[in-house]
Amino acid sequence: MTKYHVKKGDKVLVNSGKFKGEEATIAAVLTKNDRVVLEFAKLSEAKAASIGMRTVKKSQANPNGGRVARSVSVHVSNVNRIAADTKEVK
Q: In total, how many domains does the chain have?
A: 1
Average pLDDT over residues 60-69: 85
* Distance (Å, whole) CA 73 – CA 52: 9
Residue 89 located in a structural domain: no
Radius of gyration for the chain, computed over Cα atoms and rounded to the nearest angstrom: 15
Residue 64 located in a structural domain: yes
- Give the range of the structural domain holding residue 63, as residue numbers without chain letter: 11-81
Residue 2 located in a structural domain: no
Residue type, 74: V
Specify the pTM: 0.74
The CATH number for 24's domain is 2.30.30.30
* Distance (Å, whole) CA 88 – CA 30: 25
Predicted confidence (pLDDT) per residue in 5-47, tens digit: 999 999 999 999 888 888 999 999 999 999 999 988 887 777 7
Residue 33 located in a structural domain: yes
Q: pLDDT above 70 covers what percent of the chain?
A: 92
Confidence of residue 87 (pLDDT cuts 50, 70, 90): low
Residue 3 located in a structural domain: no
